[in-house]
Amino acid sequence: MNLEHINVLITGGSRGAGAAIAKTCANYGANVILHYNSNHAEAVAVAEQIGGKCTAVIAEDLSKPGAGARLWAQAKAAAGHVNALVNNAGIDLVTDPYGDDAQWVDGWAKVMAVNLQAPADLCREALVDFKAAGGGRIVNMCSRASIRGDAIDHPAYAASKGGLLALNKTIARGAASDGVLAYALAPGWINTEMAPTDPDVLRTAKAEIPLGDFAQVEEIGALVAFLLSDLCKSATGATFDINGASHVR
């Protein structure tokens, strides 16, 4: 598998799945533009591991208006051109309908900004450039929650990821004639810092997974690298479940 033709912007690349995606793509030859929010030291550490295949490390708070467009412009300035986008960054805040008003309003605003508006803005910028260049690739990190819903106190997360999944399908259908390929990943729990640590919660979470464990970040990285390789273009528009058979369709 060869990704030497790929210049990829990866959001949320300082740790977890984003870091694994960046390292795996670089190992297959891709040039990586690494985005992070506030974890500068961790982002630099990932860049150092990647070495010369890391074109740039860019900070941008995706909860701020216009962040997606600013990030895309910086990535292009650093790399010359970008022909692949991986929208990996995401947050999950409690938005309990039975909670207080401030938590509900603030939580929805921030989750939707980071998980949907910023990725949508990045996709928009990418689509314009990809159309002019004759094609490009987009991978959107959605979630099992985008298909089956989430816990009652996390509706904003499920809604944001459901919106991103619908956006991905729309791009795949509407931009294929421009050479744009768009894929969605819908993992369940991934073994990252966002995974539960309380023993009782952890036991319950793993008990619903027939495979018996959370997905590993290396699995996410491997699938993203494959999708960016153009080895199976006809999979554009598909959603790839990575959840140990905890939710099958």
Residue-wise pLDDT for 159-177, tens only, equals: 999 999 999 999 999 999 9
Question: What pLDDT, on the 0 to 100 scale, is given for residue 194?
Answer: 66
Question: What pLDDT, on the 0 to 100 scale, is given for residue 116?
Answer: 98
Query: What percentage of the chain exceeds 90 in pLDDT?
Result: 86
Does 196 have pLDDT greater than 70?
Answer: no
pLDDT band at 134 (very low <50, low <70, confident <90, very high): very high
pTM higher than the cut 0.85 = yes
Q: What is the mean pLDDT of the chain?
A: 94
Question: What pLDDT, on the 0 to 100 scale, is given for residue 246?
Answer: 87
What average pLDDT does range 93-121 have in this prediction? 97
Rounded to an integer, what distance in angstroms lies between the CA atom of residue 219 and that of residue 168?
21
Question: What pLDDT, on the 0 to 100 scale, is given for residue 219?
Answer: 95
Domains of the chain: 7-237 (3.40.50.720)
What average pLDDT does range 24-42 have in this prediction? 97
pLDDT band at 202 (very low <50, low <70, confident <90, very high): low
